[in-house]
């Protein structure tokens, strides 16, 4: 090869390498698609400053950075802009053109973009790059430079709660807002008098009223809201609106027509708090939402809650509607019909409202819960409207604890537990129901190892059988029966009745327990458990379900709180034989019918009732006085359709269970029209 050819070959190779290097360098330059994707990333972060930096010079001349950022922020905050999903495709036929497809989540649902975007090559700071030819339609489709946007809320309603007959328990109604008109309040002296009287009437502080009147927007003819109260408090509304410059305005509100009687059952709704909003993030709530705070309002929040819709309306420069960018229809909450009978609920509460206690009523044939009452209670309307701190403190400091829900709790059932002991003893043939058991005196102990402790009884005979032990409520008989059953057998059989389990119902109830550890491994604990003391703890609804076995041939009914046409089912089948259930049912009638029965004062002419009383004791030392609760469980036996379990606390000075029996009698007379 001659030298000239060699030089040409070297030059050719150098030329190829140079071309390859230039080609390589060129491939690192962003394409129009790359730059549009950078814009999308900034858009997804709502980094409007970054977005503006990617605009072409011509676009930047059409809108200042300040206006660009403020307009995006104002519009996107108004429409509650959220996630952006986007794809960018290059237009192979037209250089510098890309196809943008995107969806933007908003309060009115997704807004869809499908736009052809032109990019221009510009040199900035010695670098050549692509920049977006921006148009207002990239904020929202259809927008122009002078366009405006309006967001309309499409109102929805919260689901309502009604009883089995359609009577309202939690509904959408109205409340009375108390407003002031500054120009009609008179002289300074008259104004001060009005404010002082409102403070006394409404429980609103003078500082709160002064602050409302001093707001920058207030004019002489303005309606200045002070507080909102229950519209049914007509006397209070009348007293307030008779003052100069005070008027009432009806406003939408959640209303609880049954007030205190159903307070712990329905619970109440309240305004969304920052804490709750964080807890329910991404669930469609906002700062203005209403949410269930307690009771059924909380438990059934998902079914009851409303979901407002919204429309994003495009307007021209004059404010006229041009079109709808996005629209989401409102969704009303579901109505819920309970098995509760408001007549039963009110009958229970009328007997308990002056005491601390609880009442549960069921239909033992089908498990329908007819009443769940806790007393004393509160007016849920006060809470939904915003209870004052003084009113709340009065409730929370009340010794009877009106804010505590008692029908969900569990406590010692006393002698109402004896039928369960009898059922277990009969199942294991530990006792003969006809056998007369000789028991001397009013106190007994199994052996000397019990020391100074004795099981005691009140009304007694020297010899008693099962029937007499039930209607006289003989503690010694059932303590001995428990020992005959044996601790391990008793504890195991208690589980068959649902002890240690959650009740199969939507409303959470405390579990019933036979003892702290589920065992009965000492004779004294076993003996005490036999008559419902020791460490036995029973929920009142659970006790009702146990008693339902006496009218269902030995099976415990499954409770129902939501009204249904489905046939009833059993929670626990065959916890005792049909013969044992019928025997105990017959014996429990004597608790009321026999003149010596502990609930004879509950007898109603023309209505056969079976039941059992109980007076659990909470004493630090045997033989000393102490706190007692009164219990009574009763049901009608002919076509049984009402079973009531009632507990009243601190009955030690009122005759124990004898304080409760007339109350339950009154409920039966009221509900069954006897």
Residue-wise pLDDT for 538-576, tens only, equals: 999 999 999 999 999 999 999 999 999 999 999 999 999
pLDDT range class, residue 377, cuts 50, 70, 90: very high
What is the reported pLDDT for 102?
98
Average pLDDT over residues 478-491: 98
CB 368 within 8 A of CB 193: no
Asked if pLDDT for residue 4 goes beyond 90, the answer is no
Cα 412 to Cα 407: distance, rounded to the nearest angstrom: 14
List residues bridging with 252 in a β-sheet: 174
Tokens 């605009």: give the residue: 55
Separation of CA 385 from chain center: 17
Cα 106 to Cα 311: distance, rounded to the nearest angstrom: 10
Is 449 annotated in the active site?
A: no
- Give the pairing of strands 148-154 and 168-180: unpaired
Cα 651 to Cα 542: distance, rounded to the nearest angstrom: 22
pLDDT range class, residue 674, cuts 50, 70, 90: low
DSSP H helical ranges for 79-205: 188-202
What order of strands is seen across the sheet that includes strand 127-132? 84-90, 97-106, 109-124, 127-132
Enter the tokens of residue 600: 């004879």
CB 217 within 8 A of CB 241: no
Strand residues in 30-147 grouped as ranges (E)? 84-90, 97-106, 109-124, 127-132
| Of 355, 345, 373, 357, residue with least CA distance to 671 | 345
What is the reported pLDDT for 623?
66
Cα 287 to Cα 271: distance, rounded to the nearest angstrom: 8
Asked if pLDDT for residue 218 goes beyond 90, the answer is yes
Asked if pLDDT for residue 308 goes beyond 60, the answer is yes
**Treating both helix axes as pointing N-terminal to C-terminal, what angle do 487-496 and 418-427 enclose, rounded to 10 degrees?**
110
Asked if pLDDT for residue 15 goes beyond 80, the answer is no
Asked if pLDDT for residue 19 goes beyond 60, the answer is no
Separation of CA 292 from chain center: 5
Q: What percent of the chain has pLDDT over 70?
A: 95
- The backbone torsions φ and ψ at residue 180, rounded to the nearest 5 degrees and listed phi first, read -115, 140
Mean pLDDT for the chain? 93
For 75-97, b where at least 16 C-beta lie within 10 A, e where not — what string? Answer: bbeebebeebebebebeeeeebb
SS3 label, residue 573: coil
Asked if pLDDT for residue 658 goes beyond 60, the answer is yes
Enter the tokens of residue 668: 């039966």
CB 84 within 8 A of CB 100: no
List residues bridging with 179 in a β-sheet: 225, 247
List residues bridging with 336 in a β-sheet: 161
- The backbone torsions φ and ψ at residue 647, rounded to the nearest 5 degrees and listed phi first, read -130, 135
pLDDT range class, residue 117, cuts 50, 70, 90: very high
**What domains appear along the chain, each with residue ranges and CATH number?**
25-142 (3.10.450.100), 146-167+258-337 (3.90.1310.10), 169-256 (3.90.1310.10), 345-671 (3.40.710.10)
Long-range contacts of 247-251 (CB under 8 A, 24+ apart): 247/178, 247/179, 247/180, 247/181, 247/223, 248/176, 248/177, 248/178, 248/179, 249/176, 249/177, 249/179, 249/223, 249/225, 250/174, 250/175, 250/176, 250/177, 251/174, 251/175, 251/176, 251/177
Long-range contacts of 581-586 (CB under 8 A, 24+ apart): 581/423, 581/549, 581/550, 581/551, 581/552, 581/553, 581/554, 582/553, 583/426, 583/433, 584/419, 584/422, 584/423, 584/426, 584/470, 584/550, 585/550, 585/551, 585/610, 585/637, 586/467
What is the reported pLDDT for 22?
42
Q: Measure Cα distances from 459 to 416, 591, 633, 634 in Å.
A: 16, 13, 20, 21
Average pLDDT over residues 405-431: 98
Annotated active-site residue in 56, 311, 411, 415: 415
Question: Does this model's pTM top 0.85?
Answer: yes
pLDDT digits (tens, 9 = 90+) for 256-267: 999 999 999 999
pLDDT digits (tens, 9 = 90+) for 143-196: 999 999 999 999 999 999 999 999 999 999 999 999 999 999 999 999 999 999
| Of 510, 169, 602, 608, residue with least CA distance to 345 | 169
What is the reported pLDDT for 459?
74
Asked if pLDDT for residue 74 goes beyond 70, the answer is yes
Gyration radius of the chain's alpha carbons? 38
């Amino acid at each position: 090869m001659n030298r000239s050819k060699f030089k040409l070959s070297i030059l050719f190779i150098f030329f190829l390498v140079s071309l390859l290097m230039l080609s390589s360098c060129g491939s690192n330059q962003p394409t129009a698609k790359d730059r549009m994707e950078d814009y999308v990333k900034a858009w997804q972060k709502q980094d409007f400053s970054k977005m503006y930096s990617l605009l072409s010079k011509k676009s930047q001349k059409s809108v200042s950075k300040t206006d660009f950022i403020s307009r995006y922020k104002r519009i996107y905050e108004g429409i509650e802009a959220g996630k952006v999903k986007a794809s960018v495709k290059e237009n192979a036929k037209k250089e510098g053109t890309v196809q943008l497809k995107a969806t933007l989540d908003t309060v009115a649902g997704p807004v869809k973009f499908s736009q052809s975007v032109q990019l221009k090559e510009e040199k900035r700071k010695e670098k050549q790059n692509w920049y977006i030819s921006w148009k207002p339609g990239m904020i929202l489709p259809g927008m122009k430079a002078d366009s405006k946007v309006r967001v309309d809320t499409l109102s929805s309603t919260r689901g309502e709660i009604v009883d089995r007959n359609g009577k309202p328990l939690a509904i959408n109604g109205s409340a009375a807002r108390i407003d002031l008109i500054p120009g009609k309040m008179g002289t300074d002296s008259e104004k001060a008098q009005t404010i002082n009287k409102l403070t006394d009437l409404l429980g609103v502080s003078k500082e709160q009223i002064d602050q409302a009147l001093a707001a920058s927007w207030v004019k002489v003819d303005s309606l200045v809201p002070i507080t909102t109260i229950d519209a049914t408090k007509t006397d209070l509304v009348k007293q307030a609106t008779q003052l100069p410059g005070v008027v009432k305005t009806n406003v939408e509100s959640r209303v609880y027509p049954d007030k205190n009687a159903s307070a712990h059952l329905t619970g109440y709704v309240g305004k969304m708090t920052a804490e709750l909003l964080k807890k329910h993030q991404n669930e469609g709530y906002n700062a203005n939402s209403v949410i269930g705070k307690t009771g059924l309002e909380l438990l059934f929040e998902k079914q009851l809650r409303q979901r407002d819709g919204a429309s994003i309306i495009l307007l021209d420069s004059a404010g006229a509607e041009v079109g709808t960018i996005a629209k989401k229809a409102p969704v009303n909450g579901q109505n819920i019909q309970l098995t509760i009978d408001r007549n039963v609920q009110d009958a229970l509460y009328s007997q308990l409202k002056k005491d601390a206690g609880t009442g549960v009523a069921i239909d033992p044939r089908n498990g329908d819960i007819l009443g769940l009452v806790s007393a004393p209670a509160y007016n849920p309307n006060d809470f939904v409207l915003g209870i004052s701190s003084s009113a709340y403190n009065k409730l929370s400091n009340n010794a009877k604890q009106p804010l505590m829900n008692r029908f969900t709790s569990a406590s010692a059932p006393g002698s109402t537990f004896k039928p369960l002991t009898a059922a277990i003893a009969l199942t294991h043939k530990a006792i003969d129901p006809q056998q007369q058991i000789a028991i001397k005196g009013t106190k007994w102990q199994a052996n000397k190892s019990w020391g100074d402790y004795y099981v005691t009884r009140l009304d007694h005979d020297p010899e008693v059988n099962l029937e007499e032990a039930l209607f006289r409520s003989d503690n010694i008989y059932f303590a001995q029966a428990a020992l005959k059953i044996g601790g391990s057998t008793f504890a195991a059989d208690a589980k068959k009745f649902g002890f240690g389990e959650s009740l199969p119902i939507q409303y959470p109830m405390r579990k019933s327990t036979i003892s702290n550890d589920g065992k009965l491994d000492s004779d004294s604990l076993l003996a005490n458990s036999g008559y419902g003391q020791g460490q036995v703890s029973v929920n009142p609804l659970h006790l009702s379900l146990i008693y339902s076995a006496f009218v269902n041939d030995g099976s415990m009914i499954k409770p129902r709180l939501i009204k249904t046409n489905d046939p009833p089912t059993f929670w626990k089948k065959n916890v005792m034989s049909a013969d044992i259930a019928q025997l105990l049912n017959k014996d429990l009638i004597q608790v009321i019918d026999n003149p010596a029965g502990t609930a004879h004062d509950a007898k109603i002419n023309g209505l056969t009732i079976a039941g059992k009383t109980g007076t659990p004791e909470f004493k630090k030392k045997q033989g000393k006085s102490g706190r007692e609760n009164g219990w009574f469980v009763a049901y009608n036996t002919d076509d049984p359709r009402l079973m009531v379990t009632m507990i009243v606390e601190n009955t030690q000075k009122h005759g124990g269970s004898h304080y409760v029996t007339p109350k339950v009698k009154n409920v039966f007379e009221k509900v069954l029209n006897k």
